[in-house]
Amino acid sequence: MLRYILLRTLTMIPTLFLISVLVFVIIELPPGDYFESYVAELRALGETADLAEIEMLRERYGFDQPQVIRYLTWAGGMLTGDFGYSFEYRLPVNEVVGDRLWLTIVLSFLTIIFTWVLAFPIGIYSATHQYSWGDYGLTFVGLIGLAIPNFMLALVMMYFANQWFGVSIGNLMDRQYLNQPMSWDKFSSILSHIWIPVIIIGTAGTAGMVRRLRANLLDELQKQYVVTARAKGLAPGKVLRKYPLRMALNFFISDIGSILPAMISGAEVTAIVLSLETTGPMLIKALQSQDMYLAGSFLMFLAFLTVIGVLLSDIALAILDPRIRLGRGNVT
Amino acid sequence: MSAESGLPEPGAPLGHYVSDAPFDAYEADKAGSAQNRFAEASQLQLMWWQFRKHRIALLSGIFLLVMYGTALISEFLAPYDQHTRNTDFIYSPPQAVRLFHEGSFVGPFVYGRAQTLDMDTLRRVYVDDTTQVQPLRFFCRGDAYDFWGMVPGNLHLMCPAEGGQAFLLGTDRLGRDVLSRVLYGARISLTIGILGVTMSFVLGIVIGGLAGYHGGWFDAVTQRVIEVLQSIPSIPLWMALAAIIPVTWSPILVYVGITVILGMLDWTGLARAVRSKLLALREEDYVLAARLMGAGSGRIIGRHMIPGFMSHLIATATLTIPGMILGETALSFLGIGLRAPITSWGILLTEARSVSIIALYPWLMFPVVPVILVILTFNFLGDGLRDAADPYK
């Protein structure tokens, strides 16, 4: 078991290395850099830029050096917890980011739990009642959830929450808690706000998961051992609980790998629409103003979150399934 | 001799009944008999029969064909040009099409509109003037357009009455007809998915094919790259790439750029499918036979192996189109995708950007309806194709 976890963790390293190269290339691709657009903006406003200061900053962040060196400085810094400097905010990235990373993690985690809690019973019901009205109805509702763009759902929910409950659901906490240290009041304020984005982001993931869980369970239900168990007179509920469900559970955990990237994508868009205090709104601003270290750190963080999520689901799967743990056979 | 074997003399009457109708031993194999129709049908025919059984998929396919058909002739179907501004009718709510006026049948018409300004809220208020009957005209001359940007024309399927207005889905903040803009937007939104998928299809087949057939280091590198691309959430990556597109590019170039971005990152799923199929097929006898006869790897992959699972690939590709359409919509909505004057459904939805607009002018959300329908039908179609791809199951 330990050996498996170790090996699995080690394979993360080349993946993360390639991701960091890719992210660096992407943030380096736009012509010019932050300082050029900054100077141009100042000129447009009729102000004069302090060229000496800018030259100093440029030199300090190695803009006069070749790209390979800059990549190494950036990646090396990240390893020691230094994510670079945000030019826009004139602060180290660590300080600009603040709570946002944690809130993104909390939001993603809650969304996964929400998806699981909803998808599991619905998937089982749909599979065991195949082609019933309930199955059709639930499948259809799920598909609608899949088809509505996240941002539209967010806007419409914002509107109805305003109409019916009189609450404003933008943001992730009440105004006065912004930039405050964590406290009980802040925590409960976050809790009272977070459920709406969780529902919005969760719908699409839930629909996809129900579909795959249903197909998976249906395959399992047609197998001989289920027929045997039934023929021997086992109660239907017990047959389901003892055999096919356990097989489906494996799939259920490994499916995290496929819904997590989609979920984080959805979370970014939703966060921008609802102006949540997560990574989304800041990422898009950083991308637009070529604040490269900030944007790069966010992209890197989101990819890291996915990689870790998949790693955790793989480890959970290994605990559940001895075939994986002992390294025999391929289980999909 | 006959007495020894117990057989009757040839021609002698038999002890039991024998039909004297002419007997053809190969009758069951003849073409046209019911059970042979199935055995002799080509692969394509079998797939079609299987697909036809999937009612919803069939209907979805027809619906999508109609949608793409309308995208071909948007200029003709739209009552107005997509950029025509009716400055007297800003944020005008949808007008209902009626058939009866004061109890008598007059054919499809709309009532005239009168605009007043509410002096308290400074909102434009539109009231139907029921004395003004404005019958709709069909196959009529209206706003001039260049068909596909080339052939000038002004024939429309439907236009408002002379001097009247007909905004069946209302107007936006510049007084542009929402219905016309949705029809024009279909052209961009529907093609972006197809073009993106075509691109990822080619990339997926080439890269997945090479990786699956040759294996070795190329396979190892490809696997790693796919893993990396799949573990980065797509929207942030699209956002980053879309932000790179220079502001100075013309809208058409931006359109091409966005398509390339969508296609470039989406080939991974297809490449994986191609690779695993090729790995399985590589061991088949017919591949060995082809190799022994001296066929090169390009010919073996292209001529012998890919046709074997093309149908699966098409089904998989169909299921990736919705993601691309949603991606374009999201990028455009966030303001880093396509740019005006190009009209796509995502661009139209940017008009409905805030809660107050949704509360005041809910009809601006209408473009989400075709988005949902197209995504749903692509999903159904893909499901049906996937079931039909393996008709022997």
Q: Is the peptide bond before B341 cis (omega within 30 degrees of 0)?
A: yes
Whether B378 contacts B318, CB under 8 Å: yes
pTM of the model: 0.81
Q: Of A151, A242, A243, A257, which is closest to residue A212 (Cα–Cα)? A: A257
B151/chain A closest Cα distance in angstroms: 36
Residue of A15, A269, A288 with shortest CB distance to B235: A269
A149/chain B closest Cα distance in angstroms: 6
Q: Do B358 and A146 touch (CB under 8 A)?
A: no
Who wins on pLDDT, B103 or B292?
A: B292
Q: Do A149 and B349 touch (CB under 8 A)?
A: yes
Residue tagged 């056979």 (tokens): A329
Whether A152 contacts B368, CB under 8 Å: yes
CA distance A19 to B377: 35
Residue of B228, B235, B355 with shortest CB distance to A158: B355
CA distance B308 to B23: 40
DSSP string, A191-217: HHHHHHHHHHHHHHHHHHHHHHHHHHH
**Please, what is the average pLDDT of chain B?**
83
Q: Do A287 and B368 touch (CB under 8 A)?
A: no
Cβ-Cβ contacts under 8 Å, B231 against chain A:
15, 19, 261, 303, 306-307, 310
Residue B55 tokens read as 């009612």
pLDDT value, residue B32:
58
CA distance B74 to B186: 8
What is the mean predicted confidence (pLDDT) over B57-61? 91
Which residues face B262 on adjacent strands? none
Q: Say whether pLDDT at B2 is over 60.
A: no
Which of B231, B328, B358 to mutate to test binding with chain A, by most A CBs within 10 Å of its CB?
Answer: B231
Which H or E run includes B48? helix B43-53
Residues of chain B numbered 267-296 and touching chain A (CB < 8 Å): none
- Alpha-carbon Rg of chain B, whole angstroms? 31
Q: How much of chain B, in percent, has pLDDT values that exceed 90? A: 9
Q: Do B243 and A287 touch (CB under 8 A)?
A: yes
Q: Do A155 and B352 touch (CB under 8 A)?
A: yes
A184/chain B closest Cα distance in angstroms: 31
Cβ-Cβ contacts under 8 Å, A306 against chain B:
231-233
Closest chain B residue to A21 measured between Cα atoms?
Answer: B228
CA distance B114 to B95: 12
pLDDT value, residue B370:
92
B352 touches chain A (CB under 8 A): yes
Task: Give per-residue pLDDT as tens, A123-175.
Answer: 888 888 888 888 888 888 888 888 888 888 888 888 887 778 766 666 677 76
Q: Do A310 and B231 touch (CB under 8 A)?
A: yes
Phi/psi at B150 (nearest 5 deg)? -125, -60
Helices vs. strands in chain A: H and E counts, helices first:
17, 2
pLDDT value, residue B182:
92
Whether B190 contacts B255, CB under 8 Å: no
Cβ-Cβ contacts under 8 Å, B371 against chain A:
147, 149
CA distance B311 to B388: 8
Mean pLDDT by 10 residues, chain A (332 residues): 84 86 83 72 72 74 76 83 78 80 86 89 87 85 84 85 71 68 76 83 84 84 88 88 82 77 83 83 82 84 86 84 63 40
A14/chain B closest Cα distance in angstroms: 8
Task: Give per-residue pLDDT as tens, B247-288.
Answer: 788 888 888 888 888 888 888 888 888 888 888 888 888 888
Whether A279 contacts A104, CB under 8 Å: yes
Closest chain A residue to B328 measured between Cα atoms?
Answer: A149
pLDDT value, residue B60:
92
Q: Do A306 and B232 touch (CB under 8 A)?
A: yes
What is the mean predicted confidence (pLDDT) over B357-372? 88
